[in-house]
Amino acid sequence: MSKAVGVIPARWGSTRFPGKPLHPISGKPLLKHVWERCVRAKSLDLVVIATDDMRIASAAFDWGAEVALTSPRHRSGTNRVAEVAKKTTQFSYVINIQGDEPLIDPRLIDRLVEKLRSDRKIGMVTAAHPFKNPADASSPHQVKVVLGLRGDALYFSRARIPFQSSGSGVLQSFERRKGRSRERPSLFRHQGIYGFRRETLLQFVRWKPSPLERTESLEQLRALENGVKVHVLITAAGSPGIDTPEDATALEQKLALVKRRIRS
C-alpha cells in the first residue's frame, strides 16, 4: 500500500483562543483555509478533519469535508490523528497537519509523503526553516531543531541550540550535494507538521511520555528517545500559525493586501 491520508485535528477549547477553528478570516473559517490547502496536495488520497466538537463537525460537513468524530479524552492532536489512523487501515502514510496554519503549502505536504515513500528507514518526517531573525531563536515559544549531516533530527528544544561559542562567529554546518559542500544556517525553526508511517504513529501513541519530552514539553522528543528516525525537510520559509485573535487579524490584513495587489 502507498496511500496517504492527511488528518487535521481540531478542537474548540483553545486556552488563548476559544473557538479558533471557526474564527472567520477573509470570509471563511480558519479551519476551512487549512482544509482547502490540504485538498490541493497531489499526494493525499483523503483529507479528514478530526474533532470531538459538533460545532466544528457540522461546519466542516457543510463545506464538504470528510469528518471523523473522535474521543474527547485525547490530550494531544497526535492522539486524535492516531485514532483516525487506527480505523483507516488502507493508508500506509499519515500526515498530521496543524489546524491553525492557514497558509500551509500543499507542496510541503507532497514532499513529506514522497520522503516516506522513498526511504523505508524513516519512520517520521517533519519540516523546518532558517530563522529570518536570529534573535527569535531565543524565544521559548519558537521550537528549534538540530540536524545531522543527512538531515535527520538530533534534538528539538525550546532553548537556543546549537550553542555558539564567543569565538566561533556565525556557526555553519555543511551538507554534501553532488560532490560539493554547501553552507547552510545553523539555527532552524521547527514547523509543526508531521508525516508518519502508520505503524510508527500507532506505536508512538502507545509509548509513555519520555523524560526529555516532559522536560521540554515537546512531544516529538518521544520519537527520538525511542529510536525513531525523524527526517527534517528544510524549506525557505514556514507558514505562520494562528495562536491568538491578534494573529488572525494580522493575517486577514495581509490577505486583503495581497488581493488589492492582484486587482491592481
pLDDT at 184: 57
Distance CA 239, CA 244 (A): 15
Instruction: Name the one residue in this structure whose C-alpha cell is 464538504.
Output: 64
109: containing domain = 4-127+190-263
Considering only residues 166 and 208, tell me which one the structure prediction assigns the higher pLDDT. Answer: 208
User: Residue 190 in contact with residue 196, Cβ under 8 Å?
Assistant: no
Asked, for residue 233, whether it belongs to a domain, the answer is yes
Q: pLDDT tier at 13 (50, 70, 90 boundaries)?
A: confident
CA torsion angle for 23, 26, 31, 35 (degrees, to 10)?
Answer: 170
Q: Return the CATH number at 18.
A: 3.90.550.10
Asked, for residue 228, whether it belongs to a domain, the answer is yes
Asked, for residue 22, whether it belongs to a domain, the answer is yes
Q: Which of 13-17, 22-26, 147-151, 155-159 has the lowest mean pLDDT?
A: 13-17
161 pLDDT exceeds 50?
A: yes
Asked, for residue 101, whether it belongs to a domain, the answer is yes
Checking DSSP bridges between strand 66-69 and strand 28-29, what pairing results, if any?
unpaired
Q: What is the mean pLDDT of residues 226-240?
A: 94
121 DSSP assignment: T
Q: Which of 17-21, 53-57, 213-217 has the lowest mean pLDDT?
A: 17-21
97's grid cell: 497537519
> Tens of pLDDT along 241-260?
898 889 999 988 888 887 77
Distance CA 22, CA 59 (A): 8
Q: How many independent structural domains does the chain possess?
A: 1
pTM for the model stands at 0.90
> Tens of pLDDT along 164-198?
765 554 444 434 444 444 555 679 999 999 999 99
pLDDT at 177: 42
pLDDT at 185: 65
Q: What is the mean pLDDT of residues 205-213?
A: 97
Computed on alpha carbons and rounded to an integer, the radius of gyration of the chain in Å comes to 19
Asked, for residue 138, whether it belongs to a domain, the answer is no
Asked, for residue 208, whether it belongs to a domain, the answer is yes
> Tens of pLDDT along 124-157?
999 999 998 888 999 998 999 999 999 999 999 9
Share of the chain above pLDDT 90, in %: 76
Asked, for residue 68, whether it belongs to a domain, the answer is yes
Half-sphere exposure at residue 5, Cβ-oriented, CA atoms within 13 angstroms: 26
pLDDT at 262: 74
pLDDT at 33: 96
Considering only residues 218 and 255, tell me which one the structure prediction assigns the higher pLDDT. Answer: 218
Asked, for residue 132, whether it belongs to a domain, the answer is no
Q: pLDDT tier at 1 (50, 70, 90 boundaries)?
A: low
229 pLDDT exceeds 70?
A: yes
Q: Which residues pair with 124 in a beta bridge?
A: 196, 230
> Tens of pLDDT along 27-80?
999 999 999 999 999 999 999 999 999 999 999 999 999 999 999 999 899 999
pLDDT at 163: 86
